Amino acid sequence: MSIDKKPACSVKELSAYNTDQMMTWCGGCGNYGIQNALKRALVLESIVPKDVLMCFDVGCNGNGSDKIGTYTIHGLHGRVLPLAVGAKIANENLHVIAAAGDGATLSEGVNHLIHAVRSDYPILFLHHDNQNYALTTGQASATTPQNCKMNGTPEGVRIDVIDPLDLVFSAKPSFVAQTTSIDVDHMTETIQAGLKHKGFAFIQILQTCPTYNKIMTDEWLLQNTQRVEDLPSYDVHNLTEARAFIEKSKKLPIGVLYKNPRKENFIQTLSHREKYKTTLIEEVKSVDIASHLSTLKG
Amino acid sequence: MERTRIKIVGQSGSGLLTAGDLVAKGLQKLGFQLCADREYQSLIKGGHSCYTINFSKTPVHSLSREADILVAIDKPSLVAYFDTLKEEGIFLHGYEKLANLPDILKKIEEQNIKTVNLPSRKIALENGGTMQMANIILTGMAWKVLGFDYKIIEQLVQEKFSKKKALVEVALKCLKASYDGAETKQNIELPTKKEETILLDGNHAIALGAINAGMRFYATYPMSPSSSILTHVANMSDDTGVVVKQAEDEITAVQMSLGAMFAGTRALTATSGGGYDLMTESVSLAGIIENPLVIVLAQRPGPGTGLPTWTAQGDLNLAIHSSHGEFPRVVIACSDVEDCFDNVQHAFNFAEKYQVPVILLTEKVVCESKMTVSPFTQNKIKIERGLASNLADLKPEDRYRITENGLSTRWLPGSCDTTFFANGDEHDEAGVLDESEKAGDMYAKRMRKLDLIQADLPKPKVYGKEKDADISFVGWGSTKTVMNDIIAQYEKKGVSVNFLHFEVVWPLEEEVLNTFFVQNKNVHLLEGNYEGQFGKKVEACGHTFKNKFLKWNGRPFFLEDVCEYIDNYAKQ
């Protein structure tokens, strides 16, 4: 992949998304690249900061919540998905983006992930998977490799890991992608694809954590990933094949792994709302209940 | 006129709800005022349940423990509820083997109880029905015993079964046979002046009030006794366009609600104690990011699963003190159907105007008691959003500007080029994490809103005479209903009773409270929990109760309870 193919992203447009807050991530942290790619993707999709609602979970990624100049909410640990969904249901015109780490997504709030996929809420979700609880100083998460010695598990975790892609696929998603924090261009493209998707866009970001994750390093990611776009026979619209491919692939596949543009998202399933052209925020006014009261009369 | 008290009892699944609703609706049609409640167990089939109706020509606010007329659909309920029938009461049943119940027969004789019996099984089968028709047969009998016009109950049964064509004919035959077979035992004067009423319960009123107040999103997870709000909102959604989401858990429900309010619509969630426990972290988040949030907390006895289908006032401390950290909040308690309709609207206004969480407390007896009330006046309570009217020249720091009264400008995401950052971490005016000593300034800014809120809240109200009552009570929530009836009842006896009732229970209004204690010398607490939670807040203001009347067994305060308390206390 070469950078010169990419459309230009002007400094001025990008700077609209920047704030003057000091970065507080460790040197080499994957979050720098992720936030950079996110800002670029927003600019390239011609989305202005005023139309974006960023919803951050608690964790290292959440420490980036003051470093992006959008409408932003920094909520509770594990609960960012329903928070973001509530906002999106209220105002469909907002581009609602939720970000959370592997601790929040696969442990504290794993129920929300399953139901968000199942319900196909029309938001973009960035899963920052650095395979550990970094902000609380490197405890094991559900994606920490087996037997890897971590803070709190000096002998290593013996139980099986949760495979986020497998879990998401089991809930019949409409959009699944995987990318890595070491490749800003690839992340940008992937996030752009997610922004364009009309349902729940799940993006798994393999994120380096130079402080606590000594296995999934930049080099490791370079050697162990493979772009599905480079595979001529890969069918991005076939869920069964996508799952089978991921299972047998020696390298971790990256790119858009599956999409189903025809699936009805949650808002589209609300048939009683078809006649409404407005968002819920425009409808806050007294609704006449006279017909309902009359059924209660003697 | 005295009230007439009917109890219709039957197993869950016996159709007792239908029978109760038919009788209640019929009484409403005749122009009576009524209050009705269901006692039932946490199961779908079996057990025993009771549908109590108290009616009169004058307003009825609360329920009596005792019944004048007991209508038993089946044997288990007959046995369970027989003792609630007063001496010389009327006992209606369709049971063919009463001879096998010697204890009941003995009581019937000793207490001079009038029995009305028709073989319900036989009537049902003869008219082409099954035993499931027993409820209709008992309804027909009850209507005749009360001495009311057949046409009214006939029409209601017809409407009830209108969607089940095969059943309607059978039901009407059974109704006719049982009405004709029974004889009138009561001579009840009909109301001459028929005031138009609506008949509904508290949860239905909350649903209607919220819709009228512009609620556009309802997210919840079912939990008794809050669940029927979901039913009502969902049933009306075709017409209202409200988005209804039964979420995967209570945390989801409250987070969705919070997110929707953040974006700028009006959203509601409802739960009971256990579900509220799960929501508390989110309440705290709403506190620090100064986001409006309205949660209905429908009380039932705890701890744990407690008594899921019974009533309590045990979650007052939970509503007031739940969630980590300190932040301003409003706790409003609903007492009856009309309060439910009004208070959910006030709750939205307070939440939005002051950017705080508001907890709307109800109780099972409030949620599910049906009452006849005057048809609600729409738009009586103006919608107040508390949003910035001028979006020009806003700065990101305005959203959390440290102001004298604690209130900062609120605008909606997407409405203005000036974005803002709502941070669940302690923050400066720009929303940025602030760990300096100045972090305390933002903390204090939020807390200052309490004074502003306090000044705007409705004052507690004294029912009965203002001062020098023979006996006085202080309470909140549903105790207002029983005290309304008690005050009127004792006035006739020449005993003055008054009652200081708090609709807003937090922040606590002290001025009216102080005056009440100064002007009344014999003040008692009336509260539905073991500890007297509200009483302790009153005591913390330096007041002393003569005595406390507390109840925590899942039942509401019945009229008899308070009468006995007053009479006993008067003797001392």
Which tens digit of pLDDT belongs to each residue from B158-174? 999 999 888 999 999 99
List the beta bridge partners of residue B35: B54, B371
Of A58, A86, A288, the CB nearest to B255: A86
Q: What is the mean pLDDT of residues A100-128?
A: 98
The length of chain B is 572
Residue A238, pLDDT score: 96
Q: What is the mean pLDDT of residues A209-215?
A: 97
Q: What is the mean pLDDT of residues B422-449?
A: 97
Chain A residues within an 8 Å CB radius of B375: 293, 296-297
Q: What is the mean pLDDT of residues B110-126?
A: 95
Of B240, B256, B422, the CB nearest to A72: B422
For residue B39, what is the enclosing H or E element? strand B33-39
pLDDT band for position B571 (cuts 50, 70, 90) = low
**CB B408, CB B398: distance < 8 Å:** yes
Query: For B326-351, what is the HEC assignment?
Result: CCCCEEEECCCHHHHHHHHHHHHHHH
Q: What is the mean pLDDT of residues B294-322?
A: 98
pLDDT value at A149 more than 90 = yes
Q: How far does the CA of residue B55 sit from the closest CA of chain A (Å)? A: 14
Q: How far apart are CA B555 and CA B119, in angstroms?
A: 33
Q: How far apart are CA B172 and CA B154, in angstroms?
A: 7
Q: How far does the CA of residue A264 sit from the closest CA of chain B (Å)? A: 16
What percent of the residues of chain A are helix, what percent strand, and what percent coil, each to the nearest 5?
40, 20, 45
pLDDT value at B524 more than 70 = yes
**Do B199-373 and B461-571 come out as alike in CATH topology?**
yes
Q: Do A73 and B422 touch (CB under 8 A)?
A: yes
Of 1.10.8.80, 3.40.50.300, 3.40.50.970, 3.10.450.40, the CATH number of A10-294 is 3.40.50.970
Place of tokens 């239908």: B18
Q: Do A284 and B265 touch (CB under 8 A)?
A: yes
Average pLDDT of chain B is: 96
Structure tokens at A198: 């009309």
**CB B474, CB B509: distance < 8 Å:** no
Residue B293 burial (10 A CB sphere; 0-12, 13-18, 19+): buried
pLDDT value at A236 more than 50 = yes
Number of other residues whose CB lies within 10 A of the CB of residue A139:
17
B199 touches chain A (CB under 8 A): yes
Of B419, B425, B432, the CB nearest to A49: B419
Three-state DSSP class for B463? strand
**CB A91, CB A279: distance < 8 Å:** yes
Number of other residues whose CB lies within 10 A of the CB of residue B287:
22
pLDDT value at A6 more than 80 = no
Q: Do A90 and B240 touch (CB under 8 A)?
A: no
- CATH architecture designation of domain B4-181: 3-Layer(aba) Sandwich (3.40)
**CB B473, CB B523: distance < 8 Å:** yes
Q: How far does the CA of residue B98 sit from the closest CA of chain A (Å)? A: 37
Q: What is the mean pLDDT of residues B536-541?
A: 98
Q: Do B267 and A86 touch (CB under 8 A)?
A: yes
Chain A residues within an 8 Å CB radius of B28: 298
Pick the closest to residue B428 from B458, B402, B452 (CA basis): B402
**CB B478, CB B363: distance < 8 Å:** yes
What is the reported pTM?
Answer: 0.97
Pick the closest to residue B108 from B125, B128, B87 (CA basis): B87
Residue to mutate among A56, A108, A110, A286, with most B CBs inside 10 A, is A286
pLDDT value at A1 more than 60 = no
B260 touches chain A (CB under 8 A): yes
Q: Do B245 and A89 touch (CB under 8 A)?
A: yes
Q: What are the boundaries of each domain within chain B? A: 4-181, 199-373, 396-456, 461-571
Residue B133, pLDDT score: 94
Number of other residues whose CB lies within 10 A of the CB of residue B461:
12
Residue to mutate among B190, B246, B262, B280, with most A CBs inside 10 A, is B262
Number of other residues whose CB lies within 10 A of the CB of residue B241:
19
B199-373: CATH topology: Rossmann fold (3.40.50)
B247 touches chain A (CB under 8 A): yes
Q: Do A93 and B247 touch (CB under 8 A)?
A: no
Residue B165, pLDDT score: 87
Q: How far does the CA of residue A62 sit from the closest CA of chain B (Å)? A: 10
Of A75, A281, A286, the CB nearest to B412: A281
Q: How far apart are CA B34 and CA B36, in angstroms?
A: 7
Chain A residues within an 8 Å CB radius of B420: 71-72
**Could you tell me the end-to-end alpha-carbon distance of chain A, in angstroms, rounded to an integer?**
75
Of B212, B282, B376, the CB nearest to A287: B212
Q: How far apart are CA A165 and CA A177, in angstroms?
A: 9
Of A76, A272, A296, the CB nearest to B282: A76
**CB B367, CB B224: distance < 8 Å:** no
Q: Do A286 and B212 touch (CB under 8 A)?
A: yes
Pick the closest to residue A248 from A256, A240, A258, A260 (CA basis): A240
Under DSSP, the state recorded for A297 is B
pLDDT value at A7 more than 70 = no
B211 touches chain A (CB under 8 A): yes
Q: Do B419 and A69 touch (CB under 8 A)?
A: yes
pLDDT in tens, A48-62: 999 999 999 999 999
Residue B569, pLDDT score: 86
Of A85, A283, A292, the CB nearest to B236: A292
pLDDT value at B270 more than 90 = yes
pLDDT band for position A9 (cuts 50, 70, 90) = confident
Pick the closest to residue B233 from B218, B251, B249 (CA basis): B218
Residue B43, pLDDT score: 83
At B331, give phi and psi (nearest 5°): -120, 120
Three-state DSSP class for B10? strand
Three-state DSSP class for B442? helix
Q: How far is CA B216 from CA A55, B194, B234, B267, in A?
A: 22, 36, 12, 6
- What percent of chain A stands above pLDDT 90? 94
Radius of gyration of chain B (CA): 26
Residue A18 sits at the vertex; the CA angle it makes with A14 and A24, to the nearest 5 degrees, is: 135
Chain B residues within an 8 Å CB radius of A281: 216, 263-265, 412
Structure tokens at A275: 């006649």
Q: List Cβ<8 Å contacts ≥24 apart for A11-15.
A: A13/A43, A14/A39, A14/A40, A14/A43
Name B159's Cβ contacts closer than 8 Å, sequence gap at least 6: none
Chain B residues within an 8 Å CB radius of A49: 417, 419
B461-571: CATH topology: Rossmann fold (3.40.50)
Residue B47, pLDDT score: 83
pLDDT value at B462 more than 60 = yes
pLDDT value at B99 more than 90 = no
At B410, give phi and psi (nearest 5°): -120, 130
Helical segments of B111-201, H only: 120-126, 134-146, 150-160, 165-181
pLDDT in tens, B329-345: 999 999 999 999 999 99
Q: How far apart are CA B142 and CA B140, in angstroms?
A: 5
pLDDT value at B91 more than 70 = yes
Whether the upstream peptide bond of residue B119 has omega within 30° of 0, thus cis, is: no
**CB A19, CB B397: distance < 8 Å:** no
Q: How far is CA B235 from CA A298, B211, B247, in A?
A: 20, 12, 17
Chain B residues within an 8 Å CB radius of A293: 198, 208, 375-376
Of B239, B245, B413, the CB nearest to A94: B413
Minimum CA–CA partner of B198 in chain A: A297
List the beta bridge partners of residue A253: A226
Radius of gyration of chain A (CA): 20
Residue to mutate among B55, B252, B412, B418, with most A CBs inside 10 A, is B252
Q: How far apart are CA B220 and CA B227, in angstroms?
A: 8
Pick the closest to residue B143 from B155, B134, B152 (CA basis): B152
Whether the upstream peptide bond of residue B225 has omega within 30° of 0, thus cis, is: yes
- What percent of chain B stands above pLDDT 90? 92
Q: What is the mean pLDDT of residues B474-503?
A: 97
B102 touches chain A (CB under 8 A): no
**Could you tell me the end-to-end alpha-carbon distance of chain B, in angstroms, rounded to an integer?**
31
Residue B12, pLDDT score: 85
B238 touches chain A (CB under 8 A): yes
Q: How far apart are CA A198 and CA A173, in angstroms?
A: 12
Chain A residues within an 8 Å CB radius of B219: 86
CA dihedral angle for residue A268, residue A274, residue A279, residue A285, rounded to 10 degrees:
-140
pLDDT value at B221 more than 70 = yes
DSSP code per residue over A185-235: HHHHHHHHHHHH-SS-EEEEEE---TTT-SSS-HHHHHHHEEEGGG-TT--
B197 touches chain A (CB under 8 A): yes
Of B213, B251, B423, the CB nearest to A79: B251
Q: What are the boundaries of each domain within chain A? A: 10-294
Minimum CA–CA partner of B251 in chain A: A79
- What percent of chain B stands above pLDDT 70? 99
pLDDT in tens, A21-71: 999 999 999 999 999 999 999 999 999 999 999 999 999 999 999 999 999
Of A111, A272, A281, the CB nearest to B249: A111
